Amino acid sequence: MANTAQARKRARQAETTRQRNASQKSALRTAVKKVKKAIASGDKSAAAEVYRQSQAVIDRVADKRIVHKNLASRTKSRLVQAIKALA
């Protein structure tokens, strides 16, 4: 455990940041799942609308460097591909 006041404060700050980051990552995963669920339903216009809402979440998480920008880009690309593949 931390011995100095400075180290104790850093430990508190690190825990707060960890919880915030975990919450943001969870929101990212939820957003992606919503789009995948919409795609599975087969309604192209509904899936596109859900994707537009989720895109903001994905970009926000990447901008804060909680996930790498390439992961966000790859995720968005795959979702758009899946939406375009719908009949």
SS3 2: coil
- Classify 2 in phi/psi space as left (phi over 0), alpha (psi -120 to 50) or beta: beta
pLDDT of 59 reads 97
Q: How many domains does the chain have?
A: 1
Pick the range with the lowest mean pLDDT from 20-24, 25-29, 32-36, 83-87: 83-87
Place of tokens 């180290």: 7
What's the mean per-residue pLDDT of the chain? 96
Residue 2 has pLDDT above 90, yes or no: no
Q: Is 31's pLDDT higher than 80?
A: yes
Which long-range contacts link 62-70 to residues 24+ away (Cβ below 8 Å)?
A: 64/24, 66/21, 66/24, 66/25, 66/28, 67/25, 67/28
Distance CA 71, CA 4 (A): 38
The whole domain housing 80 covers: 5-85
What CATH code is carried by the domain that includes residue 17?
1.20.58.110
Query: pLDDT digit string (tens) for 13-25?
Result: 999 999 999 999 9
